[in-house]
Amino acid sequence: MDFQDTIEFLTKFRWVYDFPLTFFIGLRVWEQMPHEVEADRCSTYVPKSTYVPRSSRDPQPSKAAFPLHVLQWLDVLTKASIKELNNIPFGKFSPEWPMTLKDFITQVVSLPINRDLSLNLESIELKSSHKKGMSPKKIHEVSFMSGVVHKLCVKNKCVDVIDVGSGLVRIHWKYRRLCSMEFQGYLSIALSEQFGYNMLGLESVQSRSHGASDRASTHSSAFSAVEFELADTEESHASFSELIRSHSAKNNWCMMGLHCCGDLTPTMLRVFVQSPNIRCLAVLSCCYHRMSYTQFPMSEKLQKDMSAGQWAASTFALRLAAQETRTRWQNQNYDQHEYHSKNVAFRSLVELSGLKLDKRHRKIARPSHFTSFEVYLDNLLQRTKLPEEDVDCCRNILQDLYKQHEECLSYVEPFTCLQVAIQPVLESLIIQDRLMFLREQPGIYAEVVPIFDENISPRNLAILAWKEAM
């Protein structure tokens, strides 16, 4: 596995992702879009808006034919149709587009891991009693992940499975006494009832609930839930070993986790490597931006390549890696694009105005507030509860800013398109680093498999690992 091309690419296109989106207008990020050297432009690209037909009187393109060359990518992208924009992250481009843009588009499809649902997976049909209370997305995830975990367990002779970050633990109190505990471990229920695995769910968060919940009682499966925060420390590793020993005297455990956020996946990988009793692992991650800086990169190989390429992952890069993938972008219609561009542009104008919004007001706007900037302003100023005398002043400042920057609205979607295109490159790098970390350990085999349909569940890349037979 070679990371150098990806590092080089991410360094070159840092301007696409390395900034807070609310600074979009303030930083004038679109001005960083490349323009091509004149020779290339003459041979490959003439902006449609300024195209001057060649005639016998004027055989060479004049300088005047390229007045917009500084904004060349932007010129092409703002003129692209919705269909063209939606298809860019899938490697489609028009032959007359700038060479550098075509190279960018070619690389965003060649660098990432393939995420088409693997064809040789067996999903399980969940019983209708299991499906109760589950969303279609959860049903899809549980059906496929159960099949994958079952196959892994059979191959590695495991009958005990530990589900880390299994879901909310509910604690029921009666007269200030702990009365019972249950967890919403859909996967654990499926694996224990459909295949007979002995399940142990680990969850760090408790939610207190006084009402009796019927989920646990309607299923008679062999699972237990434990409140336990898995951490990357010696004490935690020791308590974890003790915990699994006390749950089963057998030696072969499978460790799994679905939507393991932040540090949880790196921690699970390290625990897996260090625990002889855990024979195999299946994990899917999310929320990479919640990871501590010490957890990325994990592999020696990427550490070396990153320091050689002088590239480091910022919070913005990790946040983009955790965002929607290109499949949802592909189906966006005009209204959705328009709503998104207004959302980004209006928030960016508020940021530029210096108006400070506290946390309660940041997400105040609803779709209906974006019909026009006036409507947005009315709602914003109403809810921020500024003193009467400041409201008019603030309104004037924001209206002036809107007039000055109105054209930026049309730059948001072209820029977002580049971000959507780069998202799989960033996510793949994080996952390949984890894969490489496992492969760097003696006696461990690992692979990445897309186990969900990306349209249904975008974080669909599972890391599967197992140890050499003892």
Ligand X SMILES: C[S@@+](CC[C@H](N)C(=O)[O-])C[C@H]1O[C@@H](n2cnc3c(N)ncnc32)[C@H](O)[C@@H]1O
Least Å from the CB of residue 195 to ligand X: 18
Nearest residue to 181 via CA among 130, 244, 115, 228: 228
Least Å from the CB of residue 231 to ligand X: 6
| Interface pick for ligand X out of 47, 165, 414, 424 (rule CB under 6 A) | 165
Residue (264 or 298) nearer to ligand X, CB: 264
191 binds ligand X (CB under 6 A): no
Distance CA 386, CA 285 (A): 41
Can you tell me whether residue 17 is helix, strand or coil? helix
| Interface pick for ligand X out of 1, 52, 205, 238 (rule CB under 6 A) | 205
Residue (103 or 229) nearer to ligand X, CB: 229
| Interface pick for ligand X out of 214, 229, 406, 447 (rule CB under 6 A) | 229
460 binds ligand X (CB under 6 A): no
Distances (CA, A) of 207 to 185, 444, 445: 14, 37, 37
Q: How open is the CA angle 291-258-448, to the nearest 5 degrees?
A: 80
Least Å from the CB of residue 363 to ligand X: 20
Q: Please, are residues 159 and 280 in contact by the beta-carbon 8 Å criterion? A: no
182 binds ligand X (CB under 6 A): no
463 binds ligand X (CB under 6 A): no
Least Å from the CB of residue 452 to ligand X: 11
Can you tell me whether residue 34 is helix, strand or coil? coil
Least Å from the CB of residue 258 to ligand X: 4
Residue (205 or 308) nearer to ligand X, CB: 205
Distance CA 228, CA 241 (A): 12
Q: Please, are residues 130 and 186 in contact by the beta-carbon 8 Å criterion? A: yes
Residue (46 or 261) nearer to ligand X, CB: 261
Distances (CA, A) of 265 to 29, 63, 259, 284, 293: 33, 55, 9, 8, 14
Q: Please, are residues 143 and 125 in contact by the beta-carbon 8 Å criterion? A: yes
- The DSSP result for 327-342, as a single string, is HHHHT--HHHHHHHHH
Residue (202 or 446) nearer to ligand X, CB: 202
Least Å from the CB of residue 133 to ligand X: 12
Size of the site for ligand X (CB under 6 A): 15
Strand (E) positions, 39-176? 160-164, 169-174
Which distant-in-sequence residues (6+ apart) come within 8 Å of 243 by Cβ?
A: 200, 226, 228
Least Å from the CB of residue 184 to ligand X: 7
Residue (102 or 247) nearer to ligand X, CB: 247
Site string for ligand X, 264-303 (x = CB under 6 A): x---------------------------------------
Distance CA 140, CA 457 (A): 8
Torsion sign (Cα): 236, 238, 244, 247 = negative
Only one residue has tokens 């409140």, namely 227
Q: Which stretch binds ligand X (CB under 6 A): 189-197, 257-265, 311-319, 325-333?
A: 257-265
167 binds ligand X (CB under 6 A): yes
| Interface pick for ligand X out of 230, 398, 412, 448 (rule CB under 6 A) | 230
| Residue number of the CB atom closest to ligand X | 165
Distance CA 23, CA 348 (A): 6
Distance CA 7, CA 180 (A): 51
204 binds ligand X (CB under 6 A): yes
Can you tell me whether residue 158 is helix, strand or coil? coil
Least Å from the CB of residue 264 to ligand X: 4
Only one residue has tokens 């969900």, namely 452
212 binds ligand X (CB under 6 A): no
149 binds ligand X (CB under 6 A): no
| Interface pick for ligand X out of 109, 121, 181, 261 (rule CB under 6 A) | 261
Interacting residue ranges for ligand X, rule: CB under 6 A: 164-168, 202-205, 229-230, 258-259, 261, 264
